[in-house]
Structure 1
């Protein structure tokens, strides 16, 4: 996604995008319940929607397009700002849905959720910052294999999110 951006700017763009993404994630962690209430959304609806989004993304990771185009590739040739790095890669709908559900179902563990978010964000930032070195090590075949493996993991997570959402709404039908 940064191939059209000057190599010296890569690090600055990644750091900027990661900070914007982290800000969005933190807002959703702490104010997600208010967001759900504002739009009259249930956590089960968000869980099911997040599961569906994860499912679609995972299928694209496992079975990429024949053209080899990245699903998040920018159509704009200028430097990316917020789209497509911050959203949907860092703070995408599935991540926001996950945070909303975790914050709602674990209200007594908000501090631990924040630390988990911070840790996941830091690992993501490191991977993005060291991606040129990672590419040199894994090469194209290694990255393809890793992407497919992560796609399978994401697929399993998406199905579990969908099941959890359905389990959450079943009691409302039996009343």
Structure 2
């Protein structure tokens, strides 16, 4: 499955799931002084961005070191994305990356990792970099833009929660889960096709 800037941006934005993380962020920051909340969100988004960029830059070397093929990563990434999509569309059936709430101000875990830069997001950027290394600038721009949007959503978490209400947030998250599921299935189909094409023919 070939990606361009727009599709990479959309996948990363859906995987980071800023709308779905609004209730989690509000819960994590409930004991943080109001004047520090924007700073905490900014810091955690910056950490997540750096982690994604590091994995993008070192993705090919990581694959070689672990002796993993691009096809294996594509299929595994599709499976992970599909499980995350199930969790978004059907919370009782899917996988959640949320962890126990920490005391005080969250640092690195669980907001930056794994809620924003989780396994699916990291696998996505590694896959992008390994499949199309000549488009590194496009992937960098997609990562940065996606995280800017994530930051804007999380910075407005209190207002969004009041305006949309619990049912509105759930509806949006499930719609995004549907989109992510379609993209995950496309990744799986692409990976299976490449395996079949590479298999020796009798």
TM range (shorter): 0.7 to 0.9
What is the TM-score with the length of structure 1 in the denominator? 0.88
How far 1:75 sits from its partner (Å)? 4.2
| Structure 1: unaligned runs, 5 residues or longer | none
Report the Cα distance in structure 2 between the residues aligned to 1:87 and 1:165, rounded to whole angstroms.
27
How far 1:73 sits from its partner (Å)? 4.4
1:17 is matched with which residue?
44
8 Å contact kept, 2:97–2:114 = no
2:175 is matched with which residue?
149
> Counterparts in 2 of 1:78-97, with a 5 A limit?
78-97=104-123
| Structure 2: unaligned runs, 5 residues or longer | 1-23
Give the secondary-structure state (helix, strand or coil) at the position aligned to 1:76: coil
1:60 is matched with which residue?
87
What is the TM-score with the length of structure 2 in the denominator? 0.77
8 Å contact kept, 1:48–1:162 = yes
Give the secondary-structure state (helix, strand or coil) at the position aligned to 2:185: helix
CA offsets 1:72-121 (integer angstroms, 9 cap, x no match): 24343443322222222221111111111211222222112211211111
CA offsets 1:9-35 (integer angstroms, 9 cap, x no match): 322221121111111111111111011
8 Å contact kept, 2:78–2:185 = yes
RMSD in angstroms over aligned alpha carbons?
A: 2.0
Report the Cα distance in structure 2 between the residues aligned to 1:65 and 1:142, rounded to whole angstroms.
18
Q: Find out whether 1:136 has 2:162 as its counterpart.
A: yes
1:49 is matched with which residue?
76
Of the structure 1 ranges 109-118 and 75-84, higher mean CA displacement relative to structure 2 is found in 75-84
Q: Find out whether 1:8 has 2:35 as its counterpart.
A: yes
